[in-house]
A and B are shown apart, each in its own frame.
Chain A
Amino acid sequence: MAKCSVCGRKAVYVARYEGRAYCEKHFLEWFDKRVRKTIRKFSFFGPKEKIVVAVSGGKDSLSALHYLVNLSKRVPGWEIRALLVDEGIRGYRDVTIRDFKRVAEELGVDYRIVSFKEVIGASLDEIVKIGMERGLPYKPCTYCGVFRRYILNRAAREMGATVLVTAHNLDDVVQTFVMNLLRNDWEKISRLGPISGSGDHPKFVRKVKLFYEIPEKEIVIYALLNGIFPETFVECPYARFGMRWDVRRAINAWEEKYPGTKYALLRSLLEILPLLQKRYTGTPRTCKICGEPSTGDICRACQLRMELGLLDVQV
């Protein structure tokens, strides 16, 4: 039985990459210390912030909300609210919304729910169907990613956010890094920093990845120990369509064999990021159709909406 490296009590977690183990109490202290270190290191927040946390109802975003609400008790200048994007995935999002509402109410946090249907004109299930009928080459995660980012930025801005928090964790970041290495897409890698959307565009809300340096498994343990782990476990029905599924398996197999692989990948990413950001920084532009920030004349969300027949404009 593994014992806590701090107090010798029964451990709940062994961090093989640093050769230490932690009991419940010292796990939570260690977790808190490292998230605060990330916040300081990357200057995520100032003393006065209107923080909007992007939530899905899954364990990562519930943990982010729980963590920040508790931390904000020590920072009087912070105001915390939550924003949930309802993509409209039957049997999945409708379930996680229930878990989200339960935790939000327990924490006493104000929240807003915005749906794909009201902003984009169709739910993700409908979009996937239309895409297949029209023979479009995209996977469900492509539509979901583009529209979700679009709605998050717009809705957070409407809520008066000075910063938008996402619960992206170490695993998410290194998986996306490796996926884009395999596709030779360095421009996408250039956007994998801990802070994004920090361009000069007045409609951009600065986005920070709260768990940038925290492995996914540790977030599950945080959620379990705090009693906020979602009551019902559901997996997104589209999860296994993507390349991420295979990349995740490969990285986790490497981590098991060579502990510390994920942090080594993260350090590689942080090493190359300044060069990539210099290479790919373009002046942010404004979409001619919707007026939202864009890299080209028309933003990716409007392009997809046109291809899906959800936007009736002549360009």
Chain B
Amino acid sequence: MRILGGEEKEVDVEGKTVLDVLRALNLPSDEYVVTRGGKILTEDEEVKEGDVLVVVPVVSGG
């Protein structure tokens, strides 16, 4: 998993969806868009072992 502008890390998540991943990382879903292979995923999208996700921050902060 890569958080754009932040660190790249591997996470073990209990649960199966994009929303579960965001919750596990303590990231509010309104502040991030998650993509996989350049495609935007909705929060109910299933993720599986080995998926590479990019978490794009919504907040530009200036």
Residues of A whose CB lies within 8 Å of any CB of B are 1-2, 11-14, 21, 24, 56, 58-60, 89, 92, 144, 215-217, 220-221, 224-225, 229, 233-236, 238-240, 248-249, 252-253, 255-256
Whether a CB of chain A sits under 8 angstroms from the CB of B33 is yes
What B residues does A11 contact at CB under 8 A? 42
In-complex Cβ contact of B61 among A224, A239, A252 (8 A): A239
User: Are A256 and B44 closer than 8 Å at their CB atoms?
Assistant: no
Given A233-B5, A252-B30, A253-B28, decide whether A220 and B58 contact each other with a Cβ distance below 8 A. Answer: yes
What B residues does A2 contact at CB under 8 A? 42, 44-45
Given A233-B57, A235-B60, A236-B62, decide whether A13 and B40 contact each other with a Cβ distance below 8 A. Answer: yes
User: Are A56 and B62 closer than 8 Å at their CB atoms?
Assistant: yes
Q: List 21 A-B contacts (CB under 8 A).
A: A11-B42, A12-B41, A13-B42, A14-B42, A58-B62, A89-B62, A92-B62, A144-B62, A216-B58, A217-B33, A220-B58, A224-B35, A233-B57, A235-B5, A238-B62, A248-B31, A248-B59, A249-B28, A252-B28, A256-B28, A256-B30
Closest 4 CB pairs of A and B: A236-B62, A239-B61, A233-B5, A58-B60
Residues of B whose CB lies within 8 Å of any CB of A are 4-5, 28-31, 33, 35, 39-46, 56-62
What A residues does B43 contact at CB under 8 A? 14
What A residues does B29 contact at CB under 8 A? 256
What B residues does A59 contact at CB under 8 A? 60
B59 → chain A, closest Cβ, in Å? 7
What B residues does A89 contact at CB under 8 A? 62
In the complex, A63 Cα to B46 Cα: how many Å? 29
B34 → chain A, closest Cβ, in Å? 11
> Which of B33, B35, B45, B60 has its CB near the most chain A CB atoms (within 10 A)?
B60
User: Are B31 and A252 closer than 8 Å at their CB atoms?
Assistant: yes
What A residues does B45 contact at CB under 8 A? 1-2
User: Of all chain A residues, which has the CB nearest B42?
Assistant: A2
Given A1-B44, A92-B62, A236-B62, decide whether A229 and B30 contact each other with a Cβ distance below 8 A. Answer: no
User: Are A217 and B58 closer than 8 Å at their CB atoms?
Assistant: yes
User: Of all chain A residues, which has the CB nearest B61?
Assistant: A239
What A residues does B44 contact at CB under 8 A? 1-2, 14
In the complex, A2 Cα to B57 Cα: how many Å? 21
User: Of all chain B residues, which has the CB nearest A245?
Assistant: B61
User: Are B40 and A224 closer than 8 Å at their CB atoms?
Assistant: yes
Given A233-B5, A252-B30, A252-B31, decide whether A221 and B60 contact each other with a Cβ distance below 8 A. Answer: no
What B residues does A256 contact at CB under 8 A? 28-30
In the complex, A102 Cα to B4 Cα: how many Å? 20
In the complex, A24 Cα to B5 Cα: how many Å? 25
In the complex, A56 Cα to B60 Cα: how many Å? 10
In the complex, A97 Cα to B15 Cα: how many Å? 40
A179 → chain B, closest Cβ, in Å? 15
In-complex Cβ contact of A221 among B28, B30, B40, B57 (8 A): B40
User: Are B58 and A21 closer than 8 Å at their CB atoms?
Assistant: no
User: Are A60 and B42 closer than 8 Å at their CB atoms?
Assistant: no
What A residues does B35 contact at CB under 8 A? 224
